[in-house]
Every structure is written in structure tokens, then in C-alpha cells.
Structure 1
Amino acid sequence: MTSSAARRGWLSVVSVALGSFVLVLSEFLPIGLLPAIARDLDVGIGTAGLMVVATGLVGAVAAPVVTVLTSRLDRRVVLVSLTILLVVADGLAAIAPNFTVLLIARMLLGVGIGGFWAIGAGIAGRLVRPEATIRATSLITAGVSVATVVSLPLGALVSSLATWRLAFVIGGVLGLVALVLQLAMLPRIPALQRVRFGTLGSLLRVPRARVGLIAAAFLFTAQFAAYTYVAPYLQDLVGVGPDTITLALLVFGIAGIVGNFTAGFTLGRTVLGTIDVAKVVLAVSVVLLPLLANSVVGVFILLVVWGLVWGALPLGMQTWMSTASPAGSETGLALFVTTIQLAIAAGSVLGGVAVSSFGLAADFWLAGAVAVIGAVVLVSMGLRRSNAVPTPAAAAAVPETTPTGSVAVVCP
């Protein structure tokens, strides 16, 4: 690859990363706007919350469906089409005359999120040199961390200064910028293989893929059982005000960005080690949070540690899954996206039950226990299934199926 082609490849990665940022920003922006939306559209706050749940559930279904239905199309065409869908969804939400139209717009966004992540998250290896795949992928997944940091403060600012509709206008405009960059920078990316629903089902019989999906389910359930209730924890147990809560969430998000890029290097040494150490540290951090609630400094330190390891974990699990499927990375990532979307919903519900029944402290202890179980599953099952984890170059290589049906990764 020439230096000119390499630069264009990285610009292509940036265009996809911006797309991932806008998608997650659009998904999270309304969370801080629910009271204003409920009031303006004359619905209950619980009903308004359906727009968040619906986006995630549609995304869970869309990931495998979009992967199968578009498996013969140029990936550039698919990614650009999904970005257009994002712009349409945000535009429709901005002018929605009632809650039904707004809910439809959010469901369209769910299709964009599910499809984009199943395809875009694994596209980096087609745009840069093999040895740069993990770093390029970390740039794309960093869009999640950055959007998480920006979405809540931006939503609060929009709510205080203008109508909630402005949030969707901002999402749509940023989506247009991502669309222009993708049209200008993305090369043709021909489809590599035809994917069928049967192919997705057969992936569950691949031990490495099955281990990854189980571990991801535990991880995202644990994360969102705890993270959903960070603000109430800071307010009720730590006893800090809104400004400190905003600062704490900002610190957590920035730590996540740092952790994401740090993982781009540690995953090159060991995928299994990076994931499992990060899971254990996450578990310890969330368990200690209630115990150190009387120390604001201690809480902030734990939030930094938690943010660092959380920033590494989605990229780590994605790297694991992208090398787990004999049919290619998109097949593995489709089921991965479905799994994490369902786990996010399950974690939020599980956390809510724990808080309602036993209190905030119990929720964090429960989340820690779930994370530990996920780490044990990954180590015990992962080590039995593979004694070695592919290197970054191997992870980016084209998988070949051996006569026994296992995967032999061809290193360049």
C-alpha cells in the first residue's frame, strides 16, 4: 500500500468513525430530554422512555437482518445508505408532530445503528494495512466513547437553551457531514461472501464465537446494570450536586476514550488477557463504589479506573468476535451487535429491579458479580477452545476453512 493510499485509507476510517459517533450521539441525546419531550407531546415520562428502548430493540433485530439482506452489496453502498437513514431519522424526529411519528423515527435510527455496527465496526481491516487494523478499529469504536461523553451535556444544554427538537437537528447536521465524508473518502468495498440466516445460526456452533457471545452478554449486562444508575448513586449515596455529577460523568467518558486507544496496543499482545483483566477490574471498581461513597476523591478515582477498562472492553470483545467466524467478521459482528443490544436492555431492567428491591448499593454489587461470572466464563471456556489468540495481522487476514471445518488464519 503506497503512502497516498494509506492516507486515504485512514481518512476513510475517520469517515466511518464520524458515522459511529453520530449514530451513538443520536441514540443517547434524547435520554436527557425525556421530560421535555413528554411535556411537549403530552405523553407520560414512562411512555416517552419507549423511544430509547425501541431504538435498542430494533437495532438488535436489524443487525443480522441487514447483514443478510445486504451481503451481496458493496459495503460502501451499504454504509452510505445507513448514514442516509440516520439523517432521515433525525430529520423526521425533529419535525415529529406527535409521539407516534417520533417513535417511528427512533425505530428507523435503530435500523441504522444495528446495520452500521454489524458492518462498519469490522470494516477497518479493508481500509488500512493489516498490522494497523486494531488501531483503526479503535478509532471507529472511539466514536461510542466520545458520543457518550458529549451526549448528556449537550442534551442538557439544548434542553436549557432551546427546544428538544434542536437536538435532533444537530444529529441530522452531523450525519450530513459524515455522509459527505463517506461519499468523498470511502473506496469501493466489494462484498466478500454471501451471508444467509442459516450462516448466522451455524455460528452458534463455533466454540470461539459461542464463548465470545456469552462473555459479551455478561459484560454488557453488568455494565449497564451499574452505569444506568451512576447518577442516582452520585446524588443519593455520595451526596453531590448536579455540577459534580456532570463532572463525574465527563471524567468517566474521557477515561473511556483513553482506555479505548490504550486497548488498541494491548490487544496486539493478548486479546484474552486484555479482556479478562479489564472485566475483573471493572467488577472490582463497581463493587467498591458503594463502599467508598463517603469519599468523593475515592469515587472519582474508581470512576476513572472503571472508565479506562470499559473503554477497552467493547473493542476487545469486537476483536474476539471478528476472528471467531469461519464465514467472516460481519457474521460474527451481526450476532455480537444483537447480543449487546439485548444485554443492554437486560442490564437496565436487572439494575432497576435491584435498586427497587434492595437499594443502589446492591445494584453495584450485583453488577460486579455478573462481571466476574463473565470473566470466569471467558477464561475457563476460552482457554479450552484456543491456546493462542490471533495477532492483529492475523485478525485482519482472510480466514480460510480447513477440511475439518475449523478456521486457519493466514498471516500476510
Structure 2
Amino acid sequence: MAMLIASEFMPVSLLTPMAEGLGATTGQTGQAISISGLFAVIASLLITTVAGTLNRKGVLLGIAAMMLVSLVVVAMAPNFAVLIIGRALLGLCIGGFWALATAVIMRLVPKEDVPRGLALMYGGQAIAAAFAAPLGSYLGGMFGWREVFWALVPIVALNLIWLAVSLPSLPAGKRGNFRSLWEVLRRPYFGRGLLAATLSWGSAFTMFTYLRPFLEQVTHADVTTLSILLLVLGGAGFLGTWASGRLIGDKIGPLLKLPALVMGGTTLVLLFLGGSVVATAILLAVWGTMNTAMSVIWMTWMSRNVDDAPEAGGSLMVAGVQAAIMLGAVVGGLLLDGMSIYATLAGSIALAVAALAVVLDWHKLLKPH
């Protein structure tokens, strides 16, 4: 998980130098992230059908190998078009892994330990957020953005070997197909929850994708300050995964509104206090804590309300999340290039308000008993 998240969002900490090196605008380079989101949506919807009855361990190893190839392609990219190819390969990895991840956790741990299992898995997200972005920003300033991606290659290779050795055999269960996806999507409570989750993630990534330009233009952070602020944001993610794994009880419904409420509210305050480094650090700590907690909250909701079809539910959830990341990158980039970084953050807040409107009556998001 850590390497996948680091590979996916590394361009966030390197957005400006990557744009300069590839001869593109900052907004265009940010939208390259949306390419991985597009292919992640496709992969998440196809993975259970394409994988069929294949052992899930083999599928996960194949995904890790493809991630290795995508990093090499991005590191060698001579132009914007090749960068997009590398990001497309990574998108296939993201969609495939996330679609299967919750179902795999549900098979590896007892039912009552699923929230903690998810929190442990998303601890990889916290690790990546804590170290990948600030290290990427710092090392990119010292050596160049390509060298940062090359540095990930041997780490991912070792991760592939470790997965092969440590992961138990995971024979496939019932063969998935598009009909099973449709049957889950038709459930009113799931459709409503999926919409709320998609809007929540869309809000988060409209802001997060263009955080570096905000910190450069509004907070006036140099490379060192930028790295420290990103480290604060990422480090707070450990608190989010720890707290969510231990504090989620039997009732998940009331927690569903927290991500959009906290992260949207934090972004709103950031618009007014973003010129202060200290205030920005505090706000990013709050935002980072809820960012990782959001994944555990929503995936726990999915595991409890689609426990009869976890792979289908996981596929649809990941499709929604990746569509949201794609939406956030595209809308945020258009607002940034067409208006200003303030407009980008305002777009993030608008999506958070929409998510809150959907999830306000959280009882409608729960499976009837």
C-alpha cells in the first residue's frame, strides 16, 4: 500500500518541477494524475471479471510488477505523452489493488478485527503521506524529479519479493461479473453511500492535488518549509489510522459525515489563514488526520453493508474514489489555470458541501436489517 500511494501521489510534491521539465503548465501536469484515475476506474470495474478464478495472490503480485514498470516509464519520460502512458499503467495497478484490498483483508482477519485490519493496511497510506511527499519535494530540489522516481524502483522491487514470500495463497471464491456489480449498485443504500464517498474524495483531492502551488503562492513556502509542511500533513495520517482503527465501534453511520465536514471546514479556514506558516501547519495536521481516517471509515462501511459481495462492493467503491480523484485533478487544474489557486480550494469546499448534503441522513446509507 505504501509504495502504491507513494507512486500515485508523488507528482503532488513535484508538480512544479515536473511541469517545467516536461514543458507543460502546472494545471496540465496536475491533470496527468487524472489519467491514472481514469485507468484505475476501468481496472476496478474489470478486475474481478478479468481475474476470474485466478488465485488472488498471483493477481496482487502481477499488480506489483506492473507498478514497477510504470515507475520506470515515468522516470524515463521524455515528454508529456510518455508520462501519461506511465500514469495509465499505474492507474491499472491502483484500481486492481484497491478493488481487491478490502475483500482480502476480510479473508485474512476475523470479522470483528476488520476495522483494525483496514487501519493497518491504510497505515501504508499514512507512511507514504508522511515521508513520500516531503522526501520527494526535498530530494527533487536536490537531485531532480526523475531521480526521485528512480529511487522508488528498487524499493518496489523488494516489495514485490516480500509479497511473494509473505502473502498466503488466496484461492478465488465466486467468479465475479458485471451482473454482480449491477446487483450491488442497485441497492439504494449503497448507491447513496457511493455518491457521498465519491464527493468526499473529490473534495479532498481537488485540494490535495494542488497543495504545492497553494503553499508556494499563498504561504510563500520555500523548498525546506514546503517539505516540513508536507511532513506535518503526512505525519498526522498516523494519528488518523490509529484512531479510526480503534474508535470505530458497532455504529459506523454517524461517522460518515466527518470526512467532508472536517476536511471541507479545514480547507475553508485555509483560504483565510493560509498566509501564516504556523496556522497552515496546524490546519494541514487536522486535514491529514481525517484524510487517512476517511479511507478506514468508508471501507469499514462497505465491509459491513456489502459483506455478501465484498469484491463487487470494493470494485464499485474504488471506481467511485478514482473517479473522484480524476474529477478533483481535472476541475482543480481548470480552476487553477483559468482563475486562481483560491478558486481551486473553493471548488474543493463546494464538493464537501455536496457530500454533506448526501450523507446528512446517514440512516439511508445503511443496509436494512
- TM-score bracket, shorter-length normalisation: 0.7 to 0.9
| 1:76 shift after superposition | 1.0
The verdict on how the C-alpha distance between 1:54 and 1:356 changes in structure 2, with shifts beyond 3 A counting, is closer
Shift of 1:286: 1.4
Q: How far 1:256 sits from its partner (Å)?
A: 1.9
Partner residue in 1 for 2:262: 281
Kindly report which structure 2 residues correspond to 1:41-190, keeping only aligned pairs within 5 A, or say none: 43-45=23-25, 51-95=32-76, 100-162=81-143, 164-190=145-171
Q: Compute the displacement of 1:127 (Å).
A: 1.4
Residue 357 of structure 2 is aligned with which of 358, 366, 376?
376
Partner amino acid, structure 2, of 1:383: H
- Write the deviation string for residues 39-65 of structure 1: whole angstroms up to 9, x where unpaired: 66x654576656433222111111111
Q: Which amino acid aligns with 2:363?
A: L
**1:188 partner amino acid:** S
3-state SS, counterpart of residue 265 of structure 1: helix
The offset of 1:97, in angstroms, is 6.3
Confirm or deny that 1:231 pairs with 2:212.
yes
- Which range is displaced more, 226-235 or 108-117? 226-235
Equivalent pair of 1:193/1:327 in contact (CA under 8 Å): no
Partners of 1:243 and 1:43 in 2: how far apart? 25
- Please tell me whether the aligned partners of residues 238 and 295 of structure 1 are also in contact (alpha carbons under 8 angstroms): yes
Q: Label 1:326 to 1:133 Cα distance change in 2 as closer, same or farther (>3 A).
A: closer
TM-score by length of 1: 0.80
Q: Does the C-alpha gap of structure 1 residues 368 and 339 become closer, same or farther in structure 2, counting only changes over 3 Å?
A: same
Which of the two has greater helix per residue? 2
Distance 1:86 1:236, change over 3 A: closer
Counterpart amino acid of residue 266 in structure 2: S
Q: Shift of residue 327 of structure 1?
A: 4.8
The answer to which of 83-92 and 205-214 deviates more is 83-92
Paired amino acid for 2:364: R
Distance 2:63 2:331 in 1: 31
The 1:192/1:358 distance shift into structure 2, 3 A limit, reads same
Q: CA deviation at 1:206?
A: 0.8
Please list the CA deviations of residues 99-125 of structure 1 after superposition, one character each: whole Å capped at 9, or x if unmatched.
655543332222111101111243112
Q: What is the DSSP-based 3-state SS (H/G/I as helix, E as strand, rest coil) of the residue aligned with 1:122?
A: helix
Mark the CA change 1:288 to 1:161 in structure 2 (over 3 Å): closer, same or farther.
Answer: closer
Alpha-carbon distance, 1:376 to partner: 3.0
Q: Against the structure 1 CA distance between its residues 295 and 103, is the aligned structure 2 distance closer, same or farther, given a 3 Å change threshold? A: closer
Quote the residue 1:399 is aligned against. Answer: none
Residue 148 of structure 2 aligns with an amino acid whose one-letter code is A
Which 5+ residue runs of structure 1 have no aligned equivalent?
1-19, 390-405
Identity level (%): 31
In structure 1, C-alpha distance between the alignment counterparts of 2:186 and 2:342, rounded to whole Å: 38
- d(CA) in 1 for partners of 2:344, 2:77: 36
Per the alignment, in what secondary structure is the counterpart of residue 303 of structure 1? Answer: helix
* Distance in 2, Cα, partners of 1:373 & 1:95: 40
Q: How far off is 1:22 after superposition?
A: 0.9
1:317 and 2:298 matched: yes
Give the length in aligned residue pairs. Answer: 368
> In the alignment, which of 232, 237, 240 is matched to residue 259 of structure 1?
240
Deviations 1:125-149 (A, max 9, x none): 2112332221111111222232123
User: What pairs with 1:24-39 in structure 2 (closer than 5 Å)?
Assistant: 24-33=5-14
CA contact (8 A) 1:238 1:293 kept: yes
TM-score w.r.t. the length of structure 2 is: 0.88
Separation of aligned partners in 1, 2:256 and 2:218 = 30
User: Is the contact made by 1:266 and 1:274 (CA closer than 8 Å) also made in structure 2?
Assistant: no
Give the partner amino acid of 1:259. Answer: G
State the structure with bigger RCO (CA 8 A, min sep 6), 1 or 2.
2
Amino acid at match of 2:137: A
Of 168-177 and 289-298, deviating more is 289-298
Do residues 268 (structure 1) and 249 (structure 2) align?
A: yes
Q: Tell whether the 8 Å contact from 1:279 to 1:309 is kept in structure 2 after alignment.
A: no
1:129 & 1:102 partners in 2: Cα distance? 41
Return the alpha-carbon distance in structure 2 between the equivalents of residues 319 and 357 of structure 1. Answer: 38
Shift in alpha-carbon separation, 1:226–1:258, aligned structure 2, 3 A: same
Tell me which structure has the larger Cα radius of gyration: 1
Q: CA deviation at 1:287?
A: 1.3
Structure 2: which 5+ runs fail to align?
none
Contact 2:19 2:25 in 1 (8 A): yes
How far, CA to CA, are the matches of 1:312 and 1:322 in structure 2?
15
Contact 1:86 / 1:172 at 8 angstroms: preserved in 2? no
